[in-house]
Structure 1
Amino acid sequence: MSTSLHIIGGGMAGSEAAWQAATAGVPVVIHEMRPTVGTFAHRTGSLAEMVCSNSFRSDDDEQNAVGLLHWEMRTAGSLIMEMADAHRLPAGGALAVDRDPFAEAVTERLRSHPLVTVVDEEVTDLPRDGHWIVATGPLTGSKLAEAIAAEAGQDSLAFFDAIAPIVHADTIDMDIAWRQSRYDKGDTEDERTAYINCPMTRDQYEGFIDAMLAADKTEFKEGETAGYFDGCLPIEVMAERGRETLRFGPMKPVGLTNPHDPTNKPYAVVQLRRDNKLGTLYNIVGFQTKMKYGAQKDVFGMIPGLQSASFARLGGIHRNTFINSPTLLDEQMRLRSQPNVRFAGQITGVEGYVESASMGLLAGRMAAAEIQGQALPPVPEMTAMGALVTHITGGADAKSFQPMNVNFGLFPPVDAKGGRRGRQVRYKMYTDRAKAAWTDWLGLRAAAE
């Protein structure tokens, strides 16, 4: 039997899986179809390319489940987190990343590793021999998707994901817009000014909503019946749910004061977040869209401060495929019908960069242990990674399975004896319990003692 691990896909999950396995001493071959075969969303052939937001979301490891996931990954020697930290951008309490240098650094680290080989080729079938991880992400090639569906005995599920536009910073009118993070979050002045805010009056907001709802949009093709993931809804879909929806979502005006007009509270605020270290590019926060390109320029040009904005990238929409993991995968993330193949990342039904990478981390470790004749114990379900892997391998209802971000609702409840506890206390109980369990699982506590 081959002692090498083959990984299909060099995104967040595939890159992390390769790093974990190679670090454990197992030879790895990454099969990545880019740049030979392109996709709708990718622009380069780099590994771990960020195609949507440049944010890993909250980095608070005491009060936030995704921040806890960051902590667990860092503790496990995650390459993705190491490179994210090395290419971090000011973003208040969030972990935002300078996307191109980040991907280039991940690529360089993996290509230079003596146990890692990167092959630029498309894999179109599920191999029957050897050890494999499928980490092809939301844009799995059509032939491989068909092979997966055939092997699983059912169609893959699918939903549609949207991408937010990116603006050239020097084309934003700063006589109208201003720099400030919500509630002035951030430890430094650079972090507290990492966001650019564009204010709207009520009339401007109403006109913007009307134009957006009337704009030409990309629609599903005939026979496509998939829905959207709630965590990444197109902005016009949110608006269709109610005219005020955006004011309580990405356009909420709270925690901000316009220095150009400090006595008047904006009715709504459009925020832009720094997208690269140079500060030359900003993405419009929460503005994933399915509007056609021409309509985007017209509608987004109605935003005060963006009247003359130049776009480095307009928004878009793409099909996002994932499998019904609770019915198809065992507790080791192996395909039940073909256990030489593991799945990892977004194709398993986790949503988000960090969630995808974390499932790659586990799959890489599990595969490496198996190749070396060992077996990893189950990941404690009270940890962030344990909660995710439990969810996708049997914890979720298969009939209603949908992509999921990490959240405390996936964790076993904490012991709340002593009366009702405040949210901050409960969340700290979750994270303290998780850190102890994760440290034990990694074997770090015994080593430290």
Structure 2
Amino acid sequence: MTETLHIVGGGMAGSEAAWQAATHGIPVVIHEMRPHVGTFAHQTGDLAEMVCSNSFRSDDDEQNAVGLLHWEMRAAGSLIMEMGDRHRLPAGGALAVDREAFARGVTERLRAHPLVSVETGEVTTLPAEGHWIIATGPLTSGALGQAIAAETGTDRLAFFDAIAPIVHFDSIDMSRAWMQSRYDKGETEEERTAYLNCPMDKPTYEAFIDALLAAEKTEFREGETAQYFDGCLPIEVMAERGRETLRHGPMKPVGLTNPHQPDVKPHAIVQLRRDNALGTLYNIVGFQTKMKYGAQAAVFRMIPGLESAQFARMGGIHRNTFINSPTLLDDRMRLRSRPHIRFAGQITGVEGYVESAAMGLLAGRLSAARLAGHEIPTAPHDSAMGALIHHITGGAEAKTFQPMNVNFGLFRPVDGLKGGRRGRRDRYKAYTDRAKSAWTDWLSAYPLRQSLDAA
């Protein structure tokens, strides 16, 4: 009889790992502490709940590394990508989803699978035996975090993540705002009008920056230092780096024309993206914040069109935990001191929903093969998944290890390609062509269903 795979954490990584193992015949138990033990960021007890954003970022699989990761996951039968596609929302070239419907869909599919069971309750220690995947994400509970620290002999590493606020659409003044994607990007009218835009003139922008800098912020506890992940910087931290920083970041006034004043070029633009299929909720793009709630409402209502905004959720900041994977994990994501335990997801030092789910996919497949009596190699280095796992388990410098999104800088160079801006499209296309070939070959060489049947 096949042994059971235990997965601690029902987020993106844990859900994908469970799906990969179960669909290849392995019994799985997901241990999820929610809703009995909550976190700062989560609102429900659903599996794969999205908290920071509702976007999987670019879906371009020829010119973008995360889009390539989407492609690889779809090719491997990813549940996260299937549900992302099923509950997709208009977002230009990005893949954004209705977060509540997405999480419900993942939860229903996993709970309906005959080989998957979900046990609610907190796991507080590292298991001494069995087959386990720790996929507790950045909000690992204090007790389990202490157990991991005790086992590894190192302090927990941490950075801070911020969450953007969500606004009720019917509270937005559409006589000042308008719908348009940058450069009208998208194949359909719905895609070309996927974002809601609020323009600012220069005096309004300057007053907004002043208010951001002066607003009351969440203070860190004694002994904590504010080390942020660059991809989720609070807007007030960006503003502190220079008054023009936001105009060159999330508020850049390019690729958009205000139909209310077509002859006036905005000095800055705030964008909001649909957060649910009904179109009743919109999140403010790039506006992660550590301002206190009262300050948020006052500052964000300075944005033209949001003067009467009603917030479904305010922004916030929370502490994330990750391990020093280059020193602690082998290339199959196993804890070197306890090889019956694998780690997957954001706790390994990858950043982003897609990257987390991808590491869960790989951990699930490697575990399924092992439980069937086979060892298979980890993902090929030239694939997006392989480039990412190679980085976190050995390619990164351990002393300066920080969370990382997938990007083409992690890929081995392709010989014979010229550098520079003009050669970038050809170089990225060469990376994606090589990656797709390597990933397809790996999936064909190690078909888990056949391995399990043989076992």
Range into which the TM-score falls when normalised by the shorter chain: over 0.9
Counterpart Cα distance in 2 of 1:199 and 1:419:
37
Counterpart Cα distance in 2 of 1:43 and 1:158:
22
Q: Is the CA contact 1:384–1:434 (under 8 Å) kept in the aligned structure 2?
A: yes
Cα gap change, 1:268 to 1:417, in 2 (>3 Å): closer
Matched, 1:377 2:365: no
Counterpart Cα distance in 2 of 1:287 and 1:303:
12
Partner of 2:294: 294
CA drift at 1:226: 4.5
TM-score by length of 1: 0.98
Structure 1 counterpart SS, 2:273: strand
Counterpart Cα distance in 1 of 2:63 and 2:428:
5
Partner of 2:356: 356
Cα gap change, 1:208 to 1:386, in 2 (>3 Å): same
Mapping of residues 253-268 of structure 1, within 5 Å = 253-268=253-268
Partner of 1:344: 344
CA drift at 1:380: 1.1
CA drift at 1:416: 2.7
TM-score by length of 2: 0.97
Mapping of residues 377-396 of structure 1, within 5 Å = 377-396=377-396
Partner of 1:203: 203
Q: Is the CA contact 1:8–1:31 (under 8 Å) kept in the aligned structure 2?
A: yes
Counterpart Cα distance in 2 of 1:416 and 1:323:
37
Structure 2 counterpart SS, 1:10: coil
CA drift at 1:381: 1.0
Q: Is the CA contact 2:2–2:26 (under 8 Å) kept in the aligned structure 1?
A: no
Structure 2 counterpart SS, 1:39: coil
CA drift at 1:2: 7.3
Amino acid at match of 1:436: S
Matched, 1:441 2:446: no
Partner of 2:451: none
Partner of 2:70: 70
Amino acid at match of 2:91: A
Cα gap change, 1:415 to 1:141, in 2 (>3 Å): same
Amino acid at match of 1:209: I
CA drift at 1:422: 1.4
Amino acid at match of 1:379: A
State, as a whole percentage, how many aligned pairs show the same letter: 78
CA deviation profile, 1:5-37 (whole Å, cap 9, x unmatched):
000000000000000000111100000000010
CA deviation profile, 1:183-220 (whole Å, cap 9, x unmatched):
10111111111100000000000000000100000021
Partner of 1:273: 273
For structure 1, the 5+ residue unaligned runs are none
Q: Is the CA contact 1:440–1:446 (under 8 Å) kept in the aligned structure 2?
A: no
Partner of 2:403: 403
CA drift at 1:446: 10
Structure 2 counterpart SS, 1:122: coil
Amino acid at match of 1:294: G
Amino acid at match of 2:224: E
CA drift at 1:225: 2.1
CA drift at 1:392: 0.7
Q: Is the CA contact 2:89–2:98 (under 8 Å) kept in the aligned structure 1?
A: yes
For structure 2, the 5+ residue unaligned runs are 449-455
Structure 2 counterpart SS, 1:15: helix
Q: Is the CA contact 1:158–1:226 (under 8 Å) kept in the aligned structure 2?
A: no
Partner of 1:120: 120
Structure 2 counterpart SS, 1:304: coil
Counterpart Cα distance in 2 of 1:446 and 1:360:
17
Amino acid at match of 2:429: K
Partner of 1:36: 36
Amino acid at match of 2:88: R
Mapping of residues 11-30 of structure 1, within 5 Å = 11-30=11-30
Matched, 1:146 2:146: yes
CA deviation profile, 1:383-438 (whole Å, cap 9, x unmatched):
11001100110110000000000000000011134786611111100000000000
Counterpart Cα distance in 2 of 1:360 and 1:378:
13
Q: Is the CA contact 1:34–1:45 (under 8 Å) kept in the aligned structure 2?
A: yes
Cα gap change, 1:398 to 1:446, in 2 (>3 Å): closer
Structure 2 counterpart SS, 1:7: strand
Structure 1 counterpart SS, 2:129: coil
Matched, 1:165 2:165: yes
CA drift at 1:445: 11
Counterpart Cα distance in 2 of 1:310 and 1:227:
31
Q: Is the CA contact 1:2–1:131 (under 8 Å) kept in the aligned structure 2?
A: no
Counterpart Cα distance in 2 of 1:419 and 1:118:
50
CA drift at 1:358: 0.1
Amino acid at match of 1:171: S
Partner of 1:130: 130
Structure 2 counterpart SS, 1:138: coil
CA deviation profile, 1:150-187 (whole Å, cap 9, x unmatched):
00000110011000000000110000000000110111
Amino acid at match of 1:433: R
Partner of 2:428: 427
Q: Is the CA contact 2:332–2:377 (under 8 Å) kept in the aligned structure 1?
A: no
Partner of 1:284: 284
Counterpart Cα distance in 2 of 1:196 and 1:433:
37
CA deviation profile, 1:50-86 (whole Å, cap 9, x unmatched):
0011000000000000000000000000000000000
